[in-house]
Chains A and B, each alone.
Chain A
Amino acid sequence: MQVNDNKDFQPLIVAFCCNWCSYAGADLSGTNRLNYPANVKIIRVPCSCRVNPMFILRAFQRGADGVILCGCHPGDCHYTSGNYFTRRRMTLLFSMLDFLGIERDRTRVEWVSAAEGAKFAATMNEFTEAVRKLGPNRRLEDLRCRKQ
């Protein structure tokens, strides 16, 4: 009996990390040698609120299978209030993506502080696994952008 059809599928995951908390948290999980899959590719942004919904749509269009956005914990934003904007914007965007057929498990916002290296690694392991189970993103992928 096969439980998971997508065991060999290698999803492409784009992670946007804010420079002050989550990027430092990602560095910390590296310093502590906490493994997470190589599927995750991190893009550094100054604050999670810098992430334009366009970037996420673009990632899905270009063939990303999952997009995760990491920022400082609510109340701890380096720029005071940036992550509150993120929280509201992404709530709207993800519900729209859900409507378009991008499953909820392909998108996520997570708060990771600079001290939470272990949480960063655990989140990435968990998220990659969730996306792997869903299989490739076919809804928003632009076939003209597909790898030859």
Chain B
Amino acid sequence: MQRIGVFVCHCGTNIAATVDVKKVAETLGKEPGVVIAQDYQYMCSESGQNLVKDAIKEHNLTGIVICSCSPRMHENTFRKAAAAAGLNPYLVEIANIREQCSWIHKDIADATEKAVILGRAAIAKVHLNAPLTAGESPVVKKALVIGGGIAGIQTALDIAEAGFDVDIVEKNPTIGGKMAQIDKTFPTLDCAACILTPKMVEASQNERITIRSFSEVTDVKGFVGNFTVTIKKKARYVDETKCTGCGLCTEKCPMKKVPNEFNMGLDNRSAVYIPFAQAVPKVATIDPNYCMMLKTGKCGVCSKVCSAGAINYKQQDELIEEKYGAIIVATGFNPIKLDKYDEFAYGQCPDVVTSLELERLMNAAGPNGGTLLRPSDKSHPHTIVFVQCVGSRCDDSKGKPYCSKICCMYTAKHAMLIREKYPDTEVYVFYIDVRTPGKNFDEFYRRAVEQYNVHYIKGMVGKVTPKSDGKIDVQASDLLANEQLHIDADMVVLAAAIEPDKTARPLATMLTTQMDTNDFFTEAHPKLRPVESATAGIFLSGACQGPKDIPETVAQASAAAAKAIGLLCKNSITCNPCVAHSDELMCNGCSSCEKVCPYGAITYIDKEFRMPDRTTKVRRVASVNPAVCQGCGACTVACPSGAMDLNGFSNSQIMAEVDAICK
């Protein structure tokens, strides 16, 4: 006779507010086989777990049902608790009455009724649970970092420092990411390149780090500790091992009219190019969309001037398959496209620029060699207007609902730098709110206002109109003075919202990780597990998880590295015992299961059976290798004789759940 314990969690008010937990416990207590049903404020807390452990010992329970949050959250917690009390951990079932009940339903009666049904299904299932023993699977002691910005570089350096091999996959020809494009960093105003490029070099020189630049992840298979990743190494038409990065090809290339992505399209580069002087790896790349040789077959100048013989017009994309134990996502962000914002005349007037474009305009390695000049006529701007929150904190579909977090600070930085270098230039900043939480951030902003006399005006810019004399009319409202303003500006700088990189969503699908509605990766727990994804073995680093400034990104990158190192340190991890098994008496050796198994876990063996007439007969039967089987259950459905079944999700268990729900 089964002796089942039911434990209903209030989760504070998360469950208790919409589900009558006392009633759930009381109703489930009357189910057949249930000997104890209790409710408690926080079942996952230590006292909650002790309650479960004590009940297991006291009532000699043969199975427990926890009505709480998703099994993806706390199944392991309760399995461990059960094991500590001497109950096989696989005799625990979770009824998900938070994510799939209390959080989505508003009506208390409905939610309570559903919680009871979900609890009943779990009880029906646990009646049929069998004790299982977990095996072990080895951990591949190597990590993959996807994205080579400051987040990816920091994570890779930390993991390498701990003594593990790391690969960085970067889709661009060089690592460095957005930080490489930035001129100065707030609030210390040190030069971004001066602090970033040594780290890039350190990463390239570390023998444990392999930088796979100009490459993309195209496929991810496997599971924690044992991922198989396919990486596409895109053809750069230059042999990386031969190229010395001398740059002669980029000088001699006749095709010089290619918009330079690194300078945000503000100047041009050649068809064969090195993104910037400190690029890592410092290797040329040929842009096939512009290269005359690749397009028409006539040119070949770069190949003639290259003394190293590195140019190879016949290079093809290459697929590389590698095994990793942990994957860290560091895909970063991009500023949003402003083509929907006609009112700011972006795209119509070259003197209306985004903040990242301004970074390049002010950078010593930028298009103007560090002198701030208007892109249209290369004249010195005397009045500059900054517009905050362009696309951030937006209710409509044009923008993003969230605060991009970094814009207030970098605008203060820009304003300060301009006033410092060109004291005759007037700077206006239009803002909704100025948000400067962070160490030394508010002091920095106040310095911009008080010491550098930047005009901060609370209000929105309504319209930006380019005028025929080259000036730009900025029409805005000053909310505090309650008046309309017209400013004759020479330049307008838009603080565009930031959004996750476009590659993030397809990647999330490959990694089976969660994303929020804005395409930021979702962390396993917003407060307590901020650098792990809900999928084991996948970690999050930097702005792919949410808007972040550089110090926060670096902190999170190191945290993600620490979590990955914790995994890589283990020699093996316990593997899932919920694998398929075949009932040899029922199996007729038809091979249906072998054909559908994606892992090749099923083989056939000849086995001797005693027949009823006391003779023996040798029959061919299926045998599952539990170390290879991943427990998908495809074979269980393919089996025509019903011999195949899956531990933990057996035919009878799922059928019992169906019955309980439909009762």
Contacts and interface: CB of A to CB of B under 8 A. Distances in A.
Interface residues of A, number: 56
A21 interface: yes
Contact of A30 (B99, B505, B513, B651): B99
B619 interface: no
B589 to A, nearest CB: 21
Given A50-B637, A50-B649, A82 B103 contact: no
Contacts of B634: 47, 49-50, 79, 81-82, 85
Contacts, number: 164
A79 B649 contact: no
Most buried by B among A21, A46, A81: A46
B512 A78 contact: yes
Nearest to B646: A50
A18 to B, nearest CB: 9
Most buried by A among B72, B98, B110, B113: B72
A25 B100 CA distance: 10
A25 B522 CA distance: 12
Contacts of B662: 12, 14, 59, 62-64, 145
Contacts of A21: 512
Contact of B513 (A23, A51, A58, A114): A114
Contacts of B101: 38
A43 B633 contact: no
Most buried by B among A20, A32, A41: A41
A72 B512 contact: yes
A35 to B, nearest CB: 5
A85 B661 contact: no
Contact of B100 (A26, A52, A82, A114): A26
A55 B104 contact: no
A17 B325 CA distance: 27
Interface in A105-148: 113-115, 117-118, 121, 145, 147
Most buried by B among A14, A31, A45, A62: A31
B100 A30 contact: yes
Interface in B87-124: 96, 98-101, 103-107, 110-111, 113-114, 117-118, 121
A24 interface: yes
A54 interface: yes
B96 A50 contact: no
Contact of B598 (A28, A58, A79): A79
A25 B651 CA distance: 24
A32 B104 CA distance: 9
17 contacts: A14-B662, A30-B99, A30-B100, A30-B104, A41-B121, A46-B632, A50-B646, A50-B649, A59-B662, A64-B658, A76-B510, A113-B508, A114-B508, A114-B515, A114-B535, A115-B514, A121-B104
Closest 10 CB pairs of A and B: A30-B99, A50-B633, A62-B662, A115-B515, A79-B632, A30-B103, A38-B110, A47-B632, A27-B99, A49-B634
Interface of A: 12, 14, 20-21, 23-36, 38, 41-47, 49-55, 58-59, 62-64, 72-73, 76, 78-82, 85, 89, 113-115, 117-118, 121, 145, 147
Interface of B: 70-72, 96, 98-101, 103-107, 110-111, 113-114, 117-118, 121, 221, 505, 508-510, 512-517, 522, 534-535, 578, 596, 598, 630-634, 636-638, 646, 649, 651, 654-655, 657-659, 661-663
